[in-house]
Amino acid sequence: MKHNLLVSVHDLSIKPGSWKDLDLSISAHPEFKTDLIEIPATQPIDIFGKLESVSEGILATLEIETVAQASCVRCLDPIEFDCQEEIVQLYFYPNHAPSSKNSHHKSKNSASKSKDEMKSEEEEEDLLFVEGECIDLEPVIRDALLLDLPLNPLCDENCQGLCPDCGDKYRDLPADHQHQQIDPRWGALGDLNL
Protein backbone atom coordinates (compact mmCIF):
# COMPACT_ATOMS: atom_id res chain seq x y z
CA MET A 1 0.00 0.00 0.00
CA LYS A 2 2.77 2.45 0.95
CA HIS A 3 5.00 3.53 -1.84
CA ASN A 4 7.46 6.28 -2.63
CA LEU A 5 4.92 8.60 -4.14
CA LEU A 6 3.40 9.26 -0.74
CA VAL A 7 4.71 12.64 0.34
CA SER A 8 4.50 13.82 3.90
CA VAL A 9 2.93 17.18 4.50
CA HIS A 10 3.53 16.88 8.22
CA ASP A 11 5.85 19.88 8.33
CA LEU A 12 3.41 22.11 6.47
CA SER A 13 1.52 24.32 8.82
CA ILE A 14 -2.22 23.96 8.59
CA LYS A 15 -2.27 27.74 8.41
CA PRO A 16 -3.08 28.83 4.84
CA GLY A 17 -0.18 30.46 3.12
CA SER A 18 2.65 28.26 4.28
CA TRP A 19 4.39 26.23 1.64
CA LYS A 20 7.42 24.11 0.96
CA ASP A 21 9.49 23.21 -2.06
CA LEU A 22 9.51 19.71 -3.34
CA ASP A 23 12.41 18.29 -5.33
CA LEU A 24 12.44 14.52 -5.59
CA SER A 25 13.71 11.83 -7.85
CA ILE A 26 11.76 8.64 -7.31
CA SER A 27 13.27 5.49 -8.71
CA ALA A 28 11.05 2.87 -7.13
CA HIS A 29 7.40 3.50 -7.77
CA PRO A 30 4.40 1.71 -9.22
CA GLU A 31 4.86 0.94 -12.86
CA PHE A 32 2.83 3.05 -15.25
CA LYS A 33 1.85 1.51 -18.52
CA THR A 34 -0.55 1.36 -21.38
CA ASP A 35 -0.78 -1.54 -23.79
CA LEU A 36 2.16 -0.25 -25.78
CA ILE A 37 4.17 2.07 -23.55
CA GLU A 38 5.56 1.74 -20.09
CA ILE A 39 7.40 3.66 -17.46
CA PRO A 40 9.08 0.86 -15.55
CA ALA A 41 9.03 0.92 -11.77
CA THR A 42 12.76 1.66 -11.65
CA GLN A 43 12.71 4.48 -14.19
CA PRO A 44 13.34 7.66 -12.18
CA ILE A 45 10.51 10.18 -12.06
CA ASP A 46 11.72 13.66 -11.20
CA ILE A 47 9.21 15.74 -9.30
CA PHE A 48 9.71 19.35 -8.42
CA GLY A 49 7.51 22.24 -7.48
CA LYS A 50 5.78 23.25 -4.32
CA LEU A 51 3.17 22.21 -1.81
CA GLU A 52 1.08 25.01 -0.46
CA SER A 53 -1.29 25.12 2.44
CA VAL A 54 -4.64 26.60 1.43
CA SER A 55 -7.85 26.78 3.41
CA GLU A 56 -9.38 23.57 2.00
CA GLY A 57 -6.23 21.50 2.00
CA ILE A 58 -2.88 21.21 0.27
CA LEU A 59 -2.34 22.54 -3.22
CA ALA A 60 0.37 20.70 -5.15
CA THR A 61 1.88 22.56 -8.11
CA LEU A 62 4.41 20.22 -9.64
CA GLU A 63 6.38 19.44 -12.73
CA ILE A 64 7.27 15.85 -13.42
CA GLU A 65 9.81 14.48 -15.81
CA THR A 66 10.54 10.93 -16.77
CA VAL A 67 11.21 8.68 -19.72
CA ALA A 68 8.74 6.19 -21.16
CA GLN A 69 9.70 3.13 -23.15
CA ALA A 70 7.87 1.61 -26.06
CA SER A 71 8.25 -0.23 -29.32
CA CYS A 72 7.47 1.46 -32.61
CA VAL A 73 4.12 0.09 -33.74
CA ARG A 74 5.38 -0.17 -37.30
CA CYS A 75 8.96 -1.45 -37.10
CA LEU A 76 9.06 -2.66 -33.46
CA ASP A 77 12.27 -0.75 -32.72
CA PRO A 78 12.63 0.21 -29.06
CA ILE A 79 11.98 3.89 -28.52
CA GLU A 80 12.02 6.27 -25.59
CA PHE A 81 9.86 9.28 -24.93
CA ASP A 82 10.74 12.19 -22.73
CA CYS A 83 7.69 12.94 -20.65
CA GLN A 84 7.21 16.33 -19.08
CA GLU A 85 3.98 17.14 -17.33
CA GLU A 86 2.63 19.89 -15.17
CA ILE A 87 0.31 19.05 -12.35
CA VAL A 88 -1.89 21.28 -10.26
CA GLN A 89 -3.86 19.26 -7.76
CA LEU A 90 -5.73 20.16 -4.63
CA TYR A 91 -5.75 17.59 -1.85
CA PHE A 92 -8.63 18.29 0.49
CA TYR A 93 -8.45 17.93 4.22
CA PRO A 94 -10.89 15.11 4.98
CA ASN A 95 -13.29 17.46 6.76
CA HIS A 96 -13.04 20.17 4.13
CA ALA A 97 -14.35 18.29 1.13
CA PRO A 98 -16.70 20.46 -0.91
CA SER A 99 -20.33 19.51 -0.43
CA SER A 100 -21.62 18.15 -3.68
CA LYS A 101 -25.29 17.96 -4.68
CA ASN A 102 -25.63 14.37 -3.58
CA SER A 103 -23.43 14.69 -0.55
CA HIS A 104 -25.22 11.87 1.21
CA HIS A 105 -23.54 11.71 4.63
CA LYS A 106 -20.19 11.92 2.89
CA SER A 107 -18.15 14.25 5.03
CA LYS A 108 -20.06 13.44 8.18
CA ASN A 109 -18.42 10.14 8.90
CA SER A 110 -15.67 9.91 6.34
CA ALA A 111 -13.16 9.43 9.13
CA SER A 112 -14.71 6.09 9.99
CA LYS A 113 -14.74 4.81 6.43
CA SER A 114 -12.53 2.00 5.33
CA LYS A 115 -9.79 2.66 2.83
CA ASP A 116 -11.74 0.87 0.13
CA GLU A 117 -14.80 3.00 0.66
CA MET A 118 -12.69 6.13 0.58
CA LYS A 119 -11.06 4.93 -2.59
CA SER A 120 -14.25 4.25 -4.47
CA GLU A 121 -15.69 7.59 -3.45
CA GLU A 122 -12.57 9.38 -4.56
CA GLU A 123 -12.81 7.76 -7.95
CA GLU A 124 -16.47 8.58 -8.10
CA GLU A 125 -16.00 12.23 -7.38
CA ASP A 126 -12.43 12.62 -8.52
CA LEU A 127 -11.39 14.19 -5.26
CA LEU A 128 -8.12 13.56 -3.51
CA PHE A 129 -7.54 13.92 0.17
CA VAL A 130 -4.76 14.50 2.60
CA GLU A 131 -4.55 11.16 4.38
CA GLY A 132 -2.69 10.77 7.62
CA GLU A 133 -0.51 13.83 6.95
CA CYS A 134 0.47 12.47 3.56
CA ILE A 135 -0.59 13.15 0.02
CA ASP A 136 -0.46 10.43 -2.57
CA LEU A 137 1.02 11.65 -5.83
CA GLU A 138 0.51 8.34 -7.58
CA PRO A 139 -2.99 8.90 -9.06
CA VAL A 140 -2.20 12.37 -10.43
CA ILE A 141 1.14 11.30 -11.83
CA ARG A 142 -0.48 8.25 -13.38
CA ASP A 143 -3.20 10.35 -15.03
CA ALA A 144 -0.83 13.05 -16.22
CA LEU A 145 1.62 10.59 -17.72
CA LEU A 146 -0.76 8.09 -19.23
CA LEU A 147 -3.13 10.62 -20.76
CA ASP A 148 -0.27 12.23 -22.60
CA LEU A 149 1.41 9.14 -24.00
CA PRO A 150 0.89 8.56 -27.71
CA LEU A 151 -1.60 5.83 -28.56
CA ASN A 152 0.50 4.58 -31.43
CA PRO A 153 4.15 5.16 -30.63
CA LEU A 154 6.34 5.61 -33.68
CA CYS A 155 10.12 5.80 -33.94
CA ASP A 156 9.53 8.39 -36.62
CA GLU A 157 6.39 9.79 -38.17
CA ASN A 158 7.60 8.54 -41.51
CA CYS A 159 8.56 5.09 -40.31
CA GLN A 160 7.94 2.74 -43.20
CA GLY A 161 7.58 -0.29 -40.98
CA LEU A 162 8.40 -3.79 -42.07
CA CYS A 163 8.23 -5.44 -45.45
CA PRO A 164 5.22 -7.74 -45.18
CA ASP A 165 6.98 -10.40 -47.22
CA CYS A 166 10.38 -10.73 -45.56
CA GLY A 167 9.82 -8.86 -42.30
CA ASP A 168 12.89 -6.66 -42.76
CA LYS A 169 12.73 -2.98 -42.01
CA TYR A 170 12.18 -0.87 -45.08
CA ARG A 171 14.65 1.56 -43.54
CA ASP A 172 17.43 -1.03 -43.90
CA LEU A 173 16.40 -2.14 -47.37
CA PRO A 174 17.24 -0.57 -50.70
CA ALA A 175 14.62 1.82 -51.99
CA ASP A 176 13.67 -0.53 -54.80
CA HIS A 177 13.28 -3.51 -52.50
CA GLN A 178 10.56 -5.83 -53.69
CA HIS A 179 9.85 -9.49 -53.96
CA GLN A 180 9.42 -11.12 -57.31
CA GLN A 181 5.91 -12.23 -56.89
CA ILE A 182 3.98 -12.92 -59.94
CA ASP A 183 0.30 -12.61 -59.54
CA PRO A 184 -1.11 -15.92 -60.74
CA ARG A 185 -3.33 -14.05 -63.17
CA TRP A 186 -0.33 -12.34 -64.74
CA GLY A 187 1.47 -15.67 -64.68
CA ALA A 188 -1.27 -17.09 -66.81
CA LEU A 189 -0.87 -14.17 -69.18
CA GLY A 190 2.84 -14.92 -69.36
CA ASP A 191 2.00 -18.33 -70.80
CA LEU A 192 0.23 -16.75 -73.70
CA ASN A 193 2.34 -16.26 -76.70
CA LEU A 194 1.39 -12.73 -77.63
Contacting residues toward Zn ion, per CB under 5 A: 72, 74-75, 155, 159, 163, 165-166
The minimum distance between CB 36 and Zn ion, in angstroms, equals 13
The smaller minimum CB distance to Zn ion, of residues 87 and 154, is found at 154
Q: Which of 95, 8, 81 is closest to 43 using CA atoms?
A: 81
The minimum distance between CB 21 and Zn ion, in angstroms, equals 40
d(CA 134, CA 2) in angstroms, rounded, equals 11
The smaller minimum CB distance to Zn ion, of residues 80 and 123, is found at 80
Neighbours of 32 (CB within 10 A): 23
Helix (H) or strand (E) holding 134: strand 134-136
The minimum distance between CB 154 and Zn ion, in angstroms, equals 6
The smaller minimum CB distance to Zn ion, of residues 116 and 157, is found at 157
The minimum distance between CB 165 and Zn ion, in angstroms, equals 4
The minimum distance between CB 169 and Zn ion, in angstroms, equals 8
The smaller minimum CB distance to Zn ion, of residues 134 and 159, is found at 159
d(CA 129, CA 103) in angstroms, rounded, equals 16
Strand pairing category for 78-92 and 128-129? parallel
**What are the φ/ψ torsions at residue 191 (nearest 5 degrees)?**
-75, -20
Is residue 34 within 8 A of residue 17, CB to CB? The reply is no
The smaller minimum CB distance to Zn ion, of residues 164 and 184, is found at 164
